[in-house]
A and B are shown apart, each in its own frame.
Chain A
């Protein structure tokens, strides 16, 4: 559960960990239910209305101004977003 909190970037206190651990069982119940019928011969549907090859022409559009890009920034300087120190390396 702690690991899930780290992956989801949500700081969980002990009480939350306790409560959520209990609720994971709901997921497990759903799995049990779903696996009754989700047999290997059934294809998965990821889009309810099947489409393919939906493309955009390579033409410039939808650009924001720097002001628009930064208008909701919690912190910004030099036209860039400012964040506090990063621990890990880039991926």
Chain B
């Protein structure tokens, strides 16, 4: 049974459906794994104390002959940005310590409805602000490939959980790369759906016009299966699309056959200079392109002249929206309250927010407040919104000639914890290839492309498709994944170092 945790979600689901394993067994195996390794990895902020009951219920329903979803009984880790009724939801912040939501986020509710078994809540940069998970108020998450390194961010907890085999699947959220960049540095798969493809209801907002919830997994098919569960129209989110989406799992299965690469036109952006990327990252990227070409794809150079303005626009839009979204944390209705003897409610709010928010959060709130202040709105926020138009036009022009665009997911492999903490600007540049995707609202996927030669750490390749063409990403991603796994002789994660097993608690004691 020790292999249960290494099964893909699809394979585990098949075994569950065939009755070869119970959900209780699968869930217990993952809880045991969490108990064994999470002391070092720290992917979880909270582990559910009733996951086994939920699993037992699924087993009962299956035994009773109930028609269950494909992923029923499969354990799921949930980024702490998503509110849950049965577990605390903190968004990685001290200001929300112990907060209990009276309602479930839509992606969580849909996961429960499909029979997935929530294992716990995963660590993240506070309010999703960061690319390293070092800005969590509850301490950093460690990269399972090298515990001294960052797991990416903001969704480092979700990526590390699946990379460390603590969960086969996880939910993430991506505002500027928070699903894809952690996938890149942990050798996992992450998808940022088309804006509006997955409901934002119950996702603690960072930047409303950029945020998107998406799947985190170890294989493209697994991500697709989870996307099928959480996606689709939600009347609780006005920006949710009403499109009838195709089955992404079907797209992934179709892609795995490899046929889809014949005649596929893959765009490579001229303006992304090689020099900005770590050598091993560039090399891995080129190798993947060569592999695609060898299997019938056509590599086409495209121009995206406004990509370079993306980061600047992003760091105007994000703080502006965040400063407003985070105003609700004021100590009145929920969250931390720090009393100020003799103070007014204004004093109490200001003191509570000073103590409850971390430095990065306060920095962005102040910058955002400045960017929206009297007289600056047009010049700052308004101008940044214009850059979105220009980037969208770049994408439109590019997609007139190519089917997908490929980029390295991030410029470097996982850096060491603490290495960039004092250099916010460098930290921001980690998202240079992922940010334009959020600005334009188009979908993006990151899949492992190999290891960087110089440090042996994972590298990801990002594919971008036109809005609403998420299925295309699953087809292409699954096709390349199949070729790469074949060339490696097994999944990339098989090459990750073995994690130290802590003395776990007695079985059944969780």
| B165 CB–A CB distance under 8 Å | no
Instruction: Compute how far the CA of A7 lies from the CA of B100 in the bound complex, rounded to whole angstroms.
Output: 28
How many chain A residues touch the partner (CB < 8 A)? Answer: 53
Does B239 contact A51, Cβ atoms closer than 8 Å?
Answer: yes
Known: A9-B349, A42-B389, A87-B346. A49 touches B195 (CB 8 A): yes
6 nearest A-B pairs in the assembled complex, by CB-CB distance: A48-B441, A72-B334, A44-B385, A38-B383, A68-B102, A74-B337
Complex contacts, B479 vs chain A, CB 8 Å: none
Does A49 contact B363, Cβ atoms closer than 8 Å?
Answer: no
Known: A42-B389, A47-B209. A86 touches B365 (CB 8 A): no
Complex contacts, A23 vs chain B, CB 8 Å: 363, 367, 424
Interface string of A1-24 (1 = CB under 8 A from B): 100111111111000100010011
| B312 CB–A CB distance under 8 Å | yes
| A30 CB–B CB distance under 8 Å | yes
Q: Kindly list 17 other residue pairs between chains A and B, CB separation below 8 angstroms, not including A5-B366, A33-B309.
A: A1-B366, A6-B350, A9-B349, A10-B366, A11-B353, A12-B362, A26-B425, A27-B370, A27-B380, A34-B309, A38-B384, A42-B390, A44-B386, A48-B440, A54-B238, A56-B235, A69-B102
Known: A10-B350, A83-B332. A48 touches B388 (CB 8 A): yes
Does A34 contact B313, Cβ atoms closer than 8 Å?
Answer: yes
Instruction: Compute how far the CA of A11 lies from the CA of B99 in the bound complex, rounded to whole angstroms.
Output: 23
30 inter-chain pairs at a CB distance below 8 angstroms, sorted by A residue, are: A4-B366, A8-B327, A8-B353, A10-B350, A10-B354, A10-B365, A24-B370, A26-B315, A26-B367, A27-B367, A27-B371, A27-B380, A34-B383, A34-B384, A35-B379, A37-B390, A38-B387, A42-B390, A44-B386, A49-B195, A54-B239, A56-B235, A68-B102, A72-B334, A72-B335, A73-B334, A84-B339, A84-B344, A84-B345, A84-B348
Does B353 contact A48, Cβ atoms closer than 8 Å?
Answer: no
Q: Count CB-based A-B contacts (< 8 Å).
A: 181
Main secondary structure of the interface of B (DSSP, over half): helix
Residues of chain B touching chain A, judged by Cβ–Cβ distance below 8 Å, are 99-100, 102-103, 194-196, 209, 235-236, 238-239, 241, 306, 309, 311-313, 315-316, 319, 323, 327, 330-337, 339-340, 343-351, 353-354, 357, 362-363, 365-367, 369-371, 373, 379-380, 382-390, 392, 424-425, 438-442, 467
Known: A8-B366, A20-B366, A38-B384. A43 touches B389 (CB 8 A): yes
